[in-house]
Amino acid sequence: MSFTPLPGTRAPVRVWTDPYAIEPQAAQQLRNIGALPWVEGVAVMPDVHFGKGATVGSVIAMRQAVSPAAVGVDIGCGMSAVRTSLTAADLPDDLAGLRSAIEATIPVGFAKRADPVDPRRVRGLEQRGWADFWERFGALDKRVAQLETRAQRQLGTLGGGNHFIEVCLEQGGPEAGRVWLMLHSGSRNIGKELAERHIGIARGLPHNAGLPDRDLAVFLAGTPEMEAYRRDLWWAQEYARRNRAVMLALLCNVVRDEFPQVGFDEPISCHHNYVAEETYDGLDVLVTRKGAIRAGAGDLGIIPGSMGTGSYIVRGKGNPDAYCSASHGAGRRMSRGQAKRTYNTADLVRQTAGVECRKDAGVVDEIPAAYKDIRQVMAQQEDLVEVVAHLKQVVCVKG
C-alpha cells in the first residue's frame, strides 16, 4: 500500500496503515507532533502504537531541532543478524542445550558482567576504536559520571522486555533451512539515563512553553543544550551498536563451539531508535526514528515479529515519502499489563509451540498475541521494503 494522509495537521503526516485503526491516544500524539513548528513532516509506520511523548513507529523530520523523547529512552536500540553455513539438519532435536549455552555466555535481564568485556579476548569482534570510545565517556553529562563502571559491565548484555536472542531457520526459497542468528538490544541503562536527563532539560527551556505535550520538548540548533544532547546521543548510539557487536560475536562463538565447521556471512545491523542527519528535496533535516529502521535504496534491515511468529530480512526501496524508512517490527497491539490480564502461561505454551524458550509467567507480556500480525505489517509496507528472507525462530532467549 501507499501512504494515507492524516488530516488536521500543520506538517504532513503520512500513514502506512489504516488511520482509523490507530489507537486514539497514538493518533493524538501524531497530531501533536505534526503541529510542532519545527517539524517538516512525519512518516507513520504500520507497526505504530502509543508511546511516551512520541508514538512508537514514527519517523519525524525536523528543521534545526530535535526532540529527545521522539528518539526514546533506549537510544540506539536495534537489531543484528548473521546467516550461518548451518542448516536445520545440523541442529540437534533437543535445542535446550544450545539455549543454555547462550544464556550462560550472555547475561540477560538486569544482570551485568562481573568484569567488563575485553575486546581483545572476543574472537571475531572488531578491535578498532575501543580506547577512544571509552575515553569519550568523560565528556558525557556529568550526572552520569558515576555510571561508567556499570556501563562497562553492561556492555555485551541483553537486557529484558522485548530484547531477545534467537536462532532462526530461513523459510522457503533456495536457502530454506539455513540457520540465522539474530538479536535485539540497545544502550542498556546508560542510554536510558542520558535520555531521561536530556528530556528533563528540554522540558524546562522557554521556547518549549505551551507545547501540546511537554514530552515533545525540543532542543534548537546552535544552542549549548543541543550540542550537549548530540554529543551524548552519538555516544549512546555507538554504545548500542558496540553492545550488539559484542553479543553477536559471543553468540557466534557459542555456535562455533557447538558446530566447529560453521561459517558466517557478513552481519547485518540496524538501529531503530535513533537520530540521523539526512537531506530530502535539498533540505537538511534531523530525522528521528522511534521504532523504525532506515530503508534507503539497497539498505539491508531486520524486521522482527514476536517470540513465536518469525522475522524478516529486508532491502530498502528508498521511498522519500517515508524518509527512507520502514517499520522496526510488528508493533504491540496491547500493553504489557493488558497482555498479562488477558493471557496465561498455558496460552504462552500454545503460542510458542516448537520454539525452545521461556514459557513462564515472567514473559507472558511478550506473548505473540500481544503483537500485531507481522504478515499484515509487511503487506502494508511493500512500497518501503522488499523481503530478502523470511525467518522462523527455533530458539528464543529473553531476559
Catalytic residue IDs: 328
Compute and round to an integer the Cα radius of gyration of the chain: 20
Return d(Cα 88, Cα 382) in angstroms, integer: 29
CA geometry: angle 82, 269, 260, nearest 5 deg: 25
Q: How far is CA 186 from CA 46, 147, 223, 302, in A?
A: 22, 17, 28, 14
3-state helix, strand, coil in the chain (%, to 5): 35, 25, 35
Residue of 1, 2, 6 lying closest to 42 (CA atoms): 6
Q: For residue 30, what are the contacts with CB-CB under 8 A and spacing of at least 6?
A: 6, 9, 13, 15, 22, 42, 44, 48, 55, 58
User: Which grid coordinates are listed for 22?
Assistant: 490507530
Q: Who's near 396: CB < 8 A, 6+ residues apart?
A: 164, 165, 166, 307, 308, 352, 355, 356, 357, 358
Q: Is residue 161 within 8 Å of 127, Cβ to Cβ? A: no
Quick one: cell of 7?
Answer: 488530516
The two beta strands, 13-15 and 283-290, are unpaired
